[in-house]
Amino acid sequence: MARSVADPTSEGAASADPVAAPRRVVLGVSGGIAAYKAAELLRRLTEAGHDVTVVPTEAALRFVGEPTWAALSHNPVATDVWTAAEQVPHVRLGRQAQLVVVAPATADLLARAAHGMADDLLTNTLLTARCPVLFAPAMHTEMWQHPATIANVATLRSRGAVVLEPAYGRLTGTDTGQGRLPEPAEIARLAELLLRRPDALPADLVGRRVLITAGGTREALDPVRFLGNRSSGRQGFELATVAAARGAQVTLVAANVELPAPAGSELVRVTSAEELRTATHAAAKDADVVVMAAAVADFRPAAPSDVKIKKTDAAPGSIELTGNPDVLAELVQARSAGRLGTAVIVGFAAETGDRHADVLAHGRAKLARKGCDLLVVNAVSEGRAFGREDNAAVILTATGTEIDIPLGPKAVLAAAVCDAVAALLPG
């Protein structure tokens, strides 16, 4: 039986998720060239109001000096177990921390952490911490793909640590591949998520193939103009970020999104509904989970012009529209026909209330009509959801359960969707 939930358009929903209080964070920095990017991460954490203590390794200080960390954190820098020994820093820092982030985490640091080494202040802190620990690796591709690193990462994840997938791109020198430090903004959002919900990133999607669509399609009217919508793609990208952090192999089909690709995701860029349809059906064949977060246009111009339509003194004529394919319904039908395996299928519904029904009533009707396993319903009137950093929603399930997610960062909603998906996966 469905439980009673608040209307996501209500004022109560908008105030249900207050800004998280400042927390004690340890930022560990190991000795890689990406250490300079940790300065940007530190700035984001301190600007969010958190009390950050930086613990660099000796090698990290060869890349970025102690004065930089002190100036950005507004705290003394903890560099060794001997300074202020009377305060027992190798125990105190870990015990007091509410989150430990290591960025960059080199292959050496991951190995020492996995084997319980305690040969400097950072590894001592990792052993004494009883809070969430987030590792953001950065190294050359060969080092990341080495069996020793793979085993060390698996060990850390099995103990509850969150180990992100490195990003793909330019490394040091002329090398390109997987091994770049994820963007500081992305690490900061995941850190904020863990501070709000310490259990938000379990390794429950390891080995799962997850397909996510994001953004809004554009349907050409002529070479210059198009019909589109207000979707920024932020919610879909947060879903990809969180799913990858939980161990999934993520394919992200993005329609007209200007955001950087989330680390650990394969990004496929599309423009129109037909392009999204083709890319989605191709990727869905091997997927364990399909999340249709993109805002796919319902209609497109029936006869787009090959040349720019000129402005004249005459009144503009009407634009004949034709329907776009219902990609979500097609996926459900393909699964029913045995062409899509047993993938969990999630739909999104951006709704406004009207004189016929409220937001949730429209959502329940859409869930019944589409036949997907989960439907994420969010209100989009009065500037809500589109283009914002936060979101509120109700997750409807095919069994009648309704999960209310109050207004908060989009990563929090993404984690709740992943929770609901994981509960439906076999095994």
Q: Which two tokens stand for residue 298?
A: 């319902």
Q: What is the pLDDT of residue 11?
A: 38
Amino acid 115 reads H
CB 53 within 8 A of CB 79: no
**With 80 as the cut, is the pLDDT of residue 279 above it?**
yes
Q: Is 167's pLDDT higher than 90? A: yes
The answer to whether residues 136 and 181 touch, using CB atoms and an 8 Å cutoff, is: yes
Contact 236, 293 (CB under 8 A): yes
280 Cβ contact list (under 8 Å, min separation 6): 211, 213, 253, 290, 292, 327, 331
For 142, how many CA atoms within 13 A lie in the half-sphere containing its CB? 2
Minimal CA–CA distance to 200: which of 243, 263, 166, 240? 243
* Across 291-295, average pLDDT: 96
Lowest mean pLDDT among 68-82, 95-109, 346-360: 346-360
The pLDDT value given to residue 383? 53
Per-residue confidence (pLDDT) for residue 382, from 0 to 100: 55
**Distance between CA atoms of residues 55 and 124, nearest Å:** 11
Q: What residues are annotated to the active site?
A: 229
CA atoms within 13 A on the CB side of 16: 18
Q: What is the pTM of this model?
A: 0.89
Provide the pLDDT confidence category of residue 315 given band limits of 50, 70 and 90.
low
What gap in Å lies between CA 306 and CA 352, rounded to an integer? 35
Determine whether 415 is exposed, middle or buried from the number of CB atoms within 10 Å of its CB (0-12, 13-18, 19+). buried
Whether 72 and 43 have beta carbons less than 8 Å apart is answered as yes
The whole-number average pLDDT for the span 242-253 is: 97
User: Which position has the higher pLDDT, 318 or 380?
Assistant: 318
CA dihedral 48, 54, 57, 58 (to 10 degrees): 130
* Confidence band, pLDDT 50/70/90 cuts, at residue 16: very low
pLDDT digits (tens, 9 = 90+) for 189-237: 999 999 999 999 999 999 999 999 999 999 999 999 999 988 899 999 9
Count the alpha carbons within 13 Å of 94 in the hemisphere toward its beta carbon: 17
Tell me the residue length of the chain.
Answer: 427
pLDDT at 4 over 60: no
Q: What is the pLDDT of residue 251?
A: 98
- Give the pLDDT of residue 82: 74
* Pairing of β 390-397 and β 402-409: antiparallel
The answer to whether residues 362 and 370 touch, using CB atoms and an 8 Å cutoff, is: no
CA-to-CA separations, 164 to 127, 161, 291, in angstroms, rounded: 19, 10, 21
Specify whether the backbone of 5 is left (phi greater than 0), alpha (psi in -120 to 50) or beta. beta
pLDDT digits (tens, 9 = 90+) for 380-410: 655 555 667 889 999 999 999 999 999 999 9
User: In sequence order, what are the residues at sequence separation of 6 or more whose Cβ sits closer than 8 angstroms to the Cβ of residue 420?
Assistant: 346, 374, 395, 397, 403
Residue range 21-73, pLDDT digits in tens? 679 999 999 999 999 999 999 999 999 999 999 999 999 999 999 999 999 99
Q: Which amino acid is at 272?
A: S
Q: Is the pLDDT of residue 273 over 50?
A: yes
pLDDT digits (tens, 9 = 90+) for 351-389: 776 777 788 888 999 999 999 999 999 876 555 556 678
Average pLDDT for 289-299: 95
Q: State the average pLDDT over residues 159-187.
A: 92
Q: What is the mean pLDDT of the chain?
A: 90
Residue 311 DSSP code: P
Please give the domain boundaries of the chain with CATH numbers for all domains: 24-196 (3.40.50.1950), 203-301+322-424 (3.40.50.10300)
